[in-house]
Amino acid sequence: MSVLTADGRGAAGEVIHPAWVRICHWINALAILVMIGSGWQIYDASPLFGFTFPRSIALGNWLAGALLWHFAAMWLLVVNGIVYVTLGLTTGRFRRKLLPLYPNELLATVRDALTLRLSHEDLAHYNAVQKLLYIGIILTGVVIVTSGLSIWKPVQFQEITAFYGGYDTARYVHFAAMAAIVAFLVVHISLALIVPKSLRAMVTGR
């Protein structure tokens, strides 16, 4: 049996993602998909823009049903997010995987991607674009949860609601955070399909 290091890699480097990362990842995936689907149904009850989402891709069938799904997934996301961030910080994984992030490294990675020279051989190493996206999605998660709380309980969480500029503005912030997460998922899933071994690593850890 190999001895795992703090970031979950074995002595021979065979383990890329420790068990807690994989468990949190798939719980997050489930919670996010439920929240997006139910959120679209909630949005349709009071649209912010001149469009609504088709019922075929929304979850809940009606407003009350969608709210039940949304709140259930919200607590799952919050608890799982707290566990993920806590372990990411205490094990040092965030520091090792996401830092440092230099502008020149980011530009070089973008250039390599555009010229189809970006390597995907070492899945244990995050390139600058991956670092930026993962840092961004963690911060977006904080925004979508806090803005959601300010919409759900604008009086009880009046300080958060005021921070976002009021109830109406918080709705726009919440929608923008949702759109950012959907965009991230499109990129994330596309890359997983392009580099299938990255998907396998998130299942097996190897």
Report DSSP state, residue 166: S
Residue 14's pLDDT band (cuts 50, 70, 90): low
Give the total number of structural domains in the chain: 1
Calpha distance 165→204 (Å, rounded): 44
CATH number at residue 196: 1.20.950.20
Residue 144: its H or E element: helix 128-152
Residue 118 lies in a domain: yes
Q: pLDDT by residue (tens digit) across 37-50? A: 999 999 999 999 99
Residue whose tokens read 């806590």: 86
Residue 23 lies in a domain: no
Q: Is the pLDDT of residue 169 over 80?
A: yes
pTM exceeds cut of 0.75:
yes
Q: Which domain holds residue 177?
A: 73-204
Residue 196 lies in a domain: yes
Residue 21 lies in a domain: no
Residue 52 lies in a domain: no
